[in-house]
Amino acid sequence: MCCIRAPAIRRVFFCGNAPAIVHLGPETGIDMQHDPIVFTIFLVFTGAAIFATVALFARQSLLVAYILLGALLGPSALGLVSDPELIRSISEFGIMFLLFLLGLNLQPQELIRMVTKTTQVTLLSSLVFFAVGFGVSLVFGFHWQEALLVGGAATFSSTIVGLKLLPTTMLHHQRTGEVIISILLLQDLLAIVLLLVVQGSAYGGMQIADVVKLLVSLPALIGFAWMVERHVLIRLIRKFDKIQEYIFLMAIGWCLGMAELAVLLGLSAEIGAFIAGVVLASSPISMFIAESLKPLRDFFLVLFFFSLGAGFDVGVIDKVILPAGILALALMLLKPPVFRWLLLRTGESEKRSHEVGYRLGQMSEFSLLLAVLAVESQVIGTEASYLIQLSTLLTFLVSSYLVVLRFPTPIAVSDALRRD
């Protein structure tokens, strides 16, 4: 019996002016190093599908599954994904789309009222959580400067966890969403100030011009967005509202354009995307835009949570597990009752105050960013940075699990609690 050997196949790709030939055949196989992005995306979503299935059978949060998958496939474990920063960079779009869609569900007048109402809640709660982070760090022998950074990182709650698990289309949750997003928006502004302080420390001190720029940029960005929406966007949408592809592209362009403009003004891309959504909230087409972008949002958010797990070095867990565990436990025990008590004093109902407290009962992706930036700027040491990172991941895992089991979410394992 003779065997017929399949011929090798040559595919030619052009990179600039030079052709790159990749040989595909039985004697060479397929070297995935030629296209690491495709291979990584394959690993992320095939693995996410498998882990999500197991998580649902085990009645666990899908967010937990994505983070654990990242830790398993990342450089410090199996090493199949060698560049988690590439994934994280791509996944930032998910955060922008998430805030853009949430902005579409908030009327500007109501949002202004809620931000004014929750300013005291945000500032007082931040002082309490700062004291917890600062105290735990000092107890475990960290330098006072490192303790300041850990305390600052402890003050923030996660925009991703808090809002990803919030049903945005349920009428009785819209007010809950307004309370949460107003607190998170003020926290984001505090986070930006803290990031500027860290950057300034690396270069010999924060410049007064940076502070002035920050105070001027936000009102300027809001005013610009309102003018463009009123005089340009609405007119174009009304003229071409029957062409769904155009509305879809216009929405993406508007969201990302405002995000990039915010970065240029010294703000975060997330704030720019959120403002882009808020100014469109009163448009009759806002609900169509929200539904159209949900699949795109979810695609990038899977990448985001995967990158969180993949970027963590599991080899350092034994060095910081005790202080990180205590800090995470203290924050998860304190944040819900502190937010609940402060919100009750502003006139919110018992039920809503209780729910908001649990939904904000974790650290933030800004905490992770602060940890990375601070250690790169040599403001804190490696162990202090890992303390912040591990504490954040622990609160992500436990907090999301508690919220999924107790409150309505889009990914609830119980039909009674599942809402989109």
Strand pairing report for 9-15 and 18-24: antiparallel
Angstrom CA distances, 386 to 192, 253, 299, 314, 383, stand at: 21, 36, 28, 10, 5
Asked whether the predicted pLDDT for residue 13 surpasses 50, the reply is no
DSSP assignment of 159-200 equals: HHHHHHTS-TT-GGGHHHHHHHHHHHHHHHHHHHHHHHHHHH
**Residue whose tokens read 């597990």:** 321
Contacts of residue 345, defined as CB under 8 A and 6 or more positions apart, other chains included, come to: none
pTM: 0.71
Q: Can you give the pLDDT at residue 378?
A: 84
Asked whether the predicted pLDDT for residue 15 surpasses 50, the reply is no
Is residue 48 assigned to a domain?
A: no
Do residues 195 and 373 make contact, with C-beta atoms less than 8 angstroms apart? Answer: yes
Is residue 13 assigned to a domain?
A: no
Asked whether the predicted pLDDT for residue 24 surpasses 60, the reply is no
Give the residue with greater pLDDT, 26 vs 131. 131
Is residue 74 assigned to a domain?
A: no
Is residue 39 assigned to a domain?
A: no
Asked whether the predicted pLDDT for residue 5 surpasses 60, the reply is no
When divided into structural domains, the chain yields a total of 1
Q: Can you give the pLDDT at residue 190?
A: 84
Beta bridge partners of 23: 10
Asked whether the predicted pLDDT for residue 7 surpasses 80, the reply is no
Q: What angle do CA 160, 180, 344 make, to 5 degrees?
A: 145
Is residue 251 assigned to a domain?
A: yes
Distance of alpha carbon 49 from alpha carbon 12, whole angstroms = 33
Least confident of 27-36, 161-170, 264-273, 306-315: 27-36
* Residue 11 structure tokens: 């595919």
Give the residue with greater pLDDT, 8 vs 320. 320
Distance of alpha carbon 60 from alpha carbon 53, whole angstroms = 10
Residue-wise pLDDT tens digits, 372-398: 888 877 889 889 999 998 999 899 888
Is residue 84 assigned to a domain?
A: no
CATH number for position 108: 1.20.1530.20
Contacts of residue 318, defined as CB under 8 A and 6 or more positions apart, other chains included, come to: none
* Residue 350 structure tokens: 């018992």
Angstrom CA distances, 335 to 156, 220, 339, 395, stand at: 10, 33, 6, 11
DSSP assignment of 90-118 equals: HHHHHHHHHHHHHHHTS-HHHHHHHHHHH
Which range marks the domain in which residue 244 is found? 92-406
* Residue 155 structure tokens: 């003050």
pLDDT band at 8 (very low <50, low <70, confident <90, very high): very low
Least confident of 3-12, 205-214, 368-377, 395-404: 3-12
Residue-wise pLDDT tens digits, 326-359: 999 999 999 999 999 999 998 889 999 999 999 9
Asked whether the predicted pLDDT for residue 29 surpasses 60, the reply is no
Asked whether the predicted pLDDT for residue 181 surpasses 80, the reply is yes
pLDDT band at 201 (very low <50, low <70, confident <90, very high): low
Do residues 85 and 70 make contact, with C-beta atoms less than 8 angstroms apart? Answer: no
Is residue 417 assigned to a domain?
A: no
Is residue 1 assigned to a domain?
A: no
Asked whether the predicted pLDDT for residue 210 surpasses 70, the reply is no
pLDDT band at 260 (very low <50, low <70, confident <90, very high): very high
Q: Can you give the pLDDT at residue 203?
A: 54
Of the candidates 107, 83, 115, 78, the residue with the CA atom closest to the CA atom of residue 189: 115
